A and B are shown apart, each in its own frame.
Chain A
Amino acid sequence: AQKITQTQPGMFVQEKEAVTLDCTYDTSDPSYGLFWYKQPSSGEMIFLIYQGSYDQQNATEGRYSLNFQKARKSANLVISASQLGDSAMYFCAMRERSFGNQGGKLIFGQGTELSVKP
């Protein structure tokens, strides 16, 4: 069964420094996608970055990059040059191929709360 694990309930980082949020996953499907979402204190879910299982290169989106290590089944989010506005809850999620009526369901990790210190 597919599973996502985020082992860091909370993390602190100094402003302007880089931080890595860990995510490991488990799936038997060779075709899958990995997502990171940000949830600020206001509560909305904001899509950050996507990595496909067949993508040859690590995904990047501005200050966000995904350190994808397929053999280790890890998809860590790296935030460079942290800003105060990066303080939020971060969720890793996975989606497998869907067949028939199974739907494109996302499986989420438990989340990591990041606090950026000035």
Chain B
Amino acid sequence: IAGITQAPTSQILAAGRRMTLRCTQDMRHNAMYWYRQDLGLGLRLIHYSNTAGTTGKGEVPDGYSVSRANTDDFPLTLASAVPSQTSVYFCASSDGAGGPRIEQFFGPGTRLTVL
């Protein structure tokens, strides 16, 4: 059982380049999330999806886009990377999104450096 996989593990990217971070889960969870982690700021939500075919903006969505074509995959795209997008990116999923108790499971993270 893999849970959530993310690719790549790490990446160094030139500013202005386009980059897609991949996230796949095998738990058949309806809801998926993308967070970025920055020192002193904790994790902040970028985008989320309650179910396949729907997406929503989180706290820091600018410069990022997502799609949810199916239940398992939730890619995050940086259309034109900037140095401020240097961060560790976590994908997460949960079995539903309606109640406060629902636990989120996290992927191993992608460390992205934009030069």
- State the CA gap A53–B101 with chains docked (Å): 10
A80-101: CB near B (< 8 Å → 1, else 0) gives 0000000000010101111001
Which residue from A6, A32, A37, A103 sits with its C-beta under 8 Å from B56? A103
Q: Does A105 contact B (CB under 8 A)?
A: yes
Closest to B100 in A: A33
B45 touches A105 (CB 8 A): yes
Known: A109-B42, A110-B42. A104 touches B99 (CB 8 A): yes
A30-61: CB near B (< 8 Å → 1, else 0) gives 01110101000001110100101100000000
A110 touches B109 (CB 8 A): no
B98-109: CB near A (< 8 Å → 1, else 0) gives 111111111011
Closest to B9 in A: A43
A105 touches B100 (CB 8 A): no
Distance in angstroms from A93 CB to nearest chain B CB is 8
- State the CA gap A104–B54 with chains docked (Å): 14
Known: A44-B109, A50-B103, A101-B56. A111 touches B42 (CB 8 A): yes
Q: How many residues of B contact A (CB 8 A)?
A: 32
Closest to A33 in B: B100
B106 touches A45 (CB 8 A): yes
Distance in angstroms from B115 CB to nearest chain A CB is 21
B41 touches A44 (CB 8 A): no
Closest to B104 in A: A106
Distance in angstroms from A103 CB to nearest chain B CB is 4
